[in-house]
Every structure is written in structure tokens, then in C-alpha cells.
Amino acid sequence: MSTVDIRPLDATDSVEDLTELLHASYASLAAQGWNFTAVDQGVDVTRQRLADGQAFVAVAGAQLVGTVAVRGPKPAGEAYIADPPPPLYTTAGTAILSQLGVHPDWRGQGLAERLIDTAETWASDQGHHQIALDTAEPAAVLRRRYARRGYAEVGVVQWQGKTYRSVLMCKPLAVPQTEPTSP
């Protein structure tokens, strides 16, 4: 396998290819009966979920093999896909991590961890003091992954149309120190 670089999503990247990557990445979760949005979202939903945030992609040659999105807090009146966001997602200083996916052929190489590291660094560099996410309550493997990284479970939410409840998880971030300026 070739070297994998992680970089910001740019205008030359295909949102269609990114959507297909998400479908492939989430297929194993769909097989367990969990209808995560990324299982079958359309290209328009991918674009909507990337708005007002930053997506990063893992690229091997010209192939997208992984992705993650991160953004700041949502305005209280803005829908989170079809639902009002939970209060955690509207709290000032909170970044929201979403759409983490690695193509099945590229799993087991630490790409998901590198993508999360990249998203957390971006959030910290933007001045956010915490990062939050949600995942399916029955997805014990995913919940353990995030817990190992310092994410604590802080609540639950039932998203409209989902076959599971989601666990809200949050992690404090170290905000970079700026150099004091001379008077």
C-alpha cells in the first residue's frame, strides 16, 4: 500500500467520491442495523454536513481513503441534519467532530486516529476548548475508541428516524498559548 497523506478537503476533491467513501466506510455499521446518516446520505447531504466547517481527507495517490469533518458550535436555531442540535452542540467553544470514516481496505493502519488527531488540532487551533461527537449507544467498539482518547459520555439523544439512541461524548482540548506581545 502507498503512503497516505492527510490534508484539508479542497475544491478539486469530488464530493461524489467523498460520499461513496462514507457509504463504504459505514457499510459495516449498516450491516449491524444502525442507520447512521453516512450509510446512505446523498451528495447534497454530504455538502450540507461540510458547510461551516473543515473536512480533512486521507489520500493515497489520487484515492480518498478516509475522512473526518469538524466545525464550531451550531447556532441554536440551526438544524442538525433534521433535528434541533443538543445543547452541547450549541455551547460556545465547542467543536463538533463528525463523518469519521476509513475505507475498509485501508483500516488497521491508524488512519482513523490520525484523522481524529488532525480534527482535534484544528479545533484547538481555532480556540475551541472542547470537542464533542455522538455515536450509536450500542456501538461499544466506537464508544471505547473515543473513551481511550479522553472523550467522556455526557448524555444521550434520540435523533429522528434513527434505529438507536446516540451517546454524546466530549473531550477537553488544550488551547495553544499565544506569545505575549511586547508593549
- Domain of residue 70: give its range: 4-129
3-state helix, strand, coil in the chain (%, to 5): 30, 30, 40
Tell me if 107 is assigned to some domain.
yes
Joined together, the cell numbers standing for residue 88 give 452541547
Tell me if 123 is assigned to some domain.
yes
* Whole-angstrom distance, CA of residue 118 vs CA of residue 120: 6
Using DSSP, how many helices (H) and how many strands (E) does the chain show? 4, 7
Q: Residues in the chain, how many?
A: 183
Q: For cell 435523533, what's the residue? A: 159
Tell me if 12 is assigned to some domain.
yes
pLDDT confidence band for 183 (50 / 70 / 90): low
Joined together, the cell numbers standing for residue 104 give 475498509
119-135 residue pLDDT tens: 999 999 999 999 999 99
Rounded to two decimals, the pTM is 0.91
| Residue 65 region by backbone torsions, left for phi larger than 0, else alpha for psi between -120 and 50, else beta | alpha
Tell me if 24 is assigned to some domain.
yes
B/e letters for 39-50, b = 16+ CB within 10 Å, e = fewer, are bebeeeebeebb
Domain count, the chain: 1
155-179 residue pLDDT tens: 999 998 998 999 999 999 986 666 5
75-120 residue pLDDT tens: 877 776 677 788 899 999 999 999 999 999 999 999 999 999 999 9
CATH number, position 104 = 3.40.630.30
| 36: CB partners within 8 A, 6+ apart | 26, 29, 30, 136
Joined together, the cell numbers standing for residue 41 give 446520505
| 7: CB partners within 8 A, 6+ apart | 56, 57, 59
Tell me if 117 is assigned to some domain.
yes
Structure confidence at residue 77 (pLDDT): 76
Tell me if 153 is assigned to some domain.
no
Tell me if 157 is assigned to some domain.
no
Tell me if 161 is assigned to some domain.
no
